Amino acid sequence: MTRTVAQTFTLNGILGALGLPDQPFLTSPTQSLLSIIILVSWVGVGYWMMFLIAGLKDIPYSTYEAAAIDGAGWWRTFFRITLPQLRRPLLFVLVADTVANFMVFAPVEILTGGGPEGSTNLIMFDTYQRAYVTGDLPAAAAETFILLGIALTVVWIQFRLLPKGDD
């Protein structure tokens, strides 16, 4: 079987070049949800990393110099200086990414349409289906309210589990 240039640079193209069979990443009920999760994670990595890098740049270099003079190794420096100083950016990224992941809609709509066999029918996609496809507005409103409750509960748990800072 001959492949086009576009097929060669896909994941299945790479698998084919390695002699492995094509995989039904978005058409298999067992692989589609994991494929969506990996895609959404990959797309978000750069965005969320930007906040963490900004947080790292905000840590004064003199703090690291003082730790080096005191003889702190990289392990102690990381856990006693870097992580505590990154608490606020980490909290923001954790909470904002959690809420964003509850609201995943576009990749599901574009790539799988909630299928195959409903395996990627996430709550936001189901809410859209109920509201705009079937016209069941009360059920869509109830799902939205439940989603809000779940998201607020998870965010509350995250705030409770993270250690308190001095700021």
pLDDT value, residue 71: 94
pLDDT value, residue 159: 85
User: H/E/C letters for each residue in the chain?
Assistant: CCCCHHHHCCHHHHHHHCCCCCCCCCCCCCCHHHHHHHHHHHHHHHHHHHHHHHHHHCCCHHHHHHHHHCCCCHHHHHHHHHHHHCHHHHHHHHHHHHHHHHCCCHHHHHHHCCCCCCCCCCHHHHHHHHHHHCCCHHHHHHHHHHHHHHHHHHHHHHHHHCCCCCC
Blockwise average pLDDT, block size 10, the chain, 167 residues: 62 87 90 92 93 96 95 94 92 90 92 91 94 96 95 90 66
pTM score, two decimals?
0.77
pLDDT value, residue 3: 59
- Residue that is written with structure tokens 């003199």 in the block: 62
* Domains of the chain as residue ranges with CATH: 31-161 (1.10.3720.10)
Please state, in angstroms and rounded to a whole number, the distance separating the CA atoms of residues 77 and 22: 46
